Structure 1
Amino acid sequence: METATLITVVLVIALALFFDFTNGFHDTANAMATPIATGALKPKTAVLLAALLNLVGAFLSTEVAKTISGGIIYEDQISESVFPAVILAGLIGAITWNMLTWLLGLPSSSSHALFGGLIGATIVGVSVTAIDFGVVMSKVILPALIAPLTAGIIAFTVTKIAYALTRRYDGKPDGRDGFRIGQIFTSSLVALAHGTNDAQKTMGIITLLLITVGLQDHPEPEWWVIFACAVTIALGTYMGGWRIIRTLGKGLTDVKPAQGFAAESSTAATILASSALGFALSTTQVASGSVIGSGLGRRGSQVRWRTAGRIMVGWVLTLPAAGAVGALAALIVTWLGFWGIIIDAVLAAAVILAIFLRSRRNEVTASNAMSEVAESGRAVKVKRNPPPTRRQRAIAREEARTRAAEQTAAKKAAKAAKAAERSTRPPKDGGAR
Structure 2
Amino acid sequence: MEFALVIAVIVIALAFDYTNGFHDAANAIATSISTRALTPRVALLLAAVMNLLGALVAEGVASTIGSGIITPPEDSRGMTMVLAGLVGAITWNLITWWFGLPSSSSHALIGGLIGAGVAGAITVHWSVILGKVVIPMVLSPLLGFCLAYAVMVGIAWAFRRASPSRVNRGFRRGQSVSAAALAFGHGLQDAQKTMGVIVLALVTAGLHTGTGVPLWVKIAAATAIALGTYAGGWRIMRTLGRRVIKLDPARGVAADVTASSVLYVMAIGLHAPISTTHTISSAIMGVGATRRLSAVRWGVARTMVTAWILTIPASALLAAATYGVLTLFIG
| TM-score bucket (shorter structure) | over 0.9
Deviations along 1:333-366, whole A, 9 cap, x unmatched?
33x142x7xxxxxxxxxxxxxxxxxxxxxxxxxx
2:96 pairs with 1:101: yes
Q: Which amino acid aligns with 1:11?
A: A
Among 231, 238, 244, the alignment partner of 1:246 is 238
Q: How does 1:120-159 map to 2 (within 5 A)?
A: 120-127=115-122, 130-159=123-152
Among 167, 188, 192, the alignment partner of 2:184 is 192
Distance 1:136 1:69 in 2: 13
TM-aligned CA deviation for residue 79 of structure 1: 3.6
Specify the alignment match of 2:279 in structure 1. Answer: 286
Q: Which amino acid aligns with 1:120?
A: G
Q: Is the 8 A contact 1:121 1:323 kept in 2?
A: yes
2:302 pairs with 1:309: yes
TM-aligned CA deviation for residue 85 of structure 1: 0.4
Q: Is the 8 A contact 2:51 2:186 kept in 1?
A: yes
Specify the alignment match of 2:217 in structure 1. Answer: 225
Specify the alignment match of 1:383 in structure 2. Answer: none
2:15 pairs with 1:15: no
Specify the alignment match of 1:113 in structure 2. Answer: 108
Question: For structure 2, which runs of at least 5 residues remain unmatched after alignment?
Answer: none
Distance 2:127 2:56 in 1: 28
2:24 pairs with 1:31: no
SS state at 2:217 partner: helix
Higher alpha-carbon Rg: 1
Q: Which amino acid aligns with 1:36?
A: I
TM-aligned CA deviation for residue 167 of structure 1: 1.6
**Structure 1 outlier segments of 4+, above 6 Å:** none
TM-score of the superposed pair, with normalisation by structure 1? 0.74
Distance 1:24 1:81 in 2: 29
TM-aligned CA deviation for residue 299 of structure 1: 4.8
Q: Is the 8 A contact 1:267 1:290 kept in 2?
A: yes
Q: Which amino acid aligns with 1:243?
A: R
Specify the alignment match of 1:419 in structure 2. Answer: none
**CA 1:209–1:175: 2 relative to 1, 3 Å:** closer
2:268 pairs with 1:273: no
SS state at 1:177 partner: helix
TM-aligned CA deviation for residue 70 of structure 1: 1.6
TM-aligned CA deviation for residue 332 of structure 1: 1.4
TM-score of the superposed pair, with normalisation by structure 2? 0.97
TM-aligned CA deviation for residue 74 of structure 1: 2.5
**CA 1:187–1:301: 2 relative to 1, 3 Å:** farther
Distance 1:95 1:176 in 2: 39
Deviates more, 1:296-305 or 1:156-165: 296-305
Q: How does 1:21-420 map to 2 (within 5 A)?
A: 21-75=18-72, 78-127=73-122, 130-169=123-162, 172=164, 175-276=167-268, 277-299=270-292, 302-334=295-327, 336-338=328-330
Q: Is the 8 A contact 1:163 1:298 kept in 2?
A: no
Distance 2:37 2:60 in 1: 32
Distance 1:21 1:337 in 2: 27
Question: For structure 1, which runs of at least 5 residues remain unmatched after alignment?
Answer: 341-433
Distance 1:101 1:281 in 2: 18
TM-aligned CA deviation for residue 165 of structure 1: 1.5
Q: Is the 8 A contact 1:71 1:132 kept in 2?
A: yes
Deviations along 1:39-82, whole A, 9 cap, x unmatched?
1111100000000011111110111001111211124xx24121
Q: Which amino acid aligns with 2:140?
A: A
SS state at 2:52 partner: helix
Distance 1:79 1:43 in 2: 45
Q: Which amino acid aligns with 2:169?
A: D
**CA 1:294–1:150: 2 relative to 1, 3 Å:** same
Distance 1:284 1:173 in 2: 30
Q: Which amino acid aligns with 2:61?
A: V
Q: Is the 8 A contact 1:28 1:50 kept in 2?
A: yes
Deviations along 1:159-200, whole A, 9 cap, x unmatched?
111111222247x45643211111111111001111111000
Q: Is the 8 A contact 1:166 1:176 kept in 2?
A: no
TM-aligned CA deviation for residue 317 of structure 1: 0.5
Q: Is the 8 A contact 1:89 1:117 kept in 2?
A: yes
Distance 2:71 2:322 in 1: 20
Report 1 or 2 for greater relative contact order, CA contacts < 8 Å, sequence distance ≥ 6: 2
Q: How many pairs were matched up?
A: 330
Output the aligned Cα RMSD. Answer: 1.4
SS state at 1:73 partner: coil
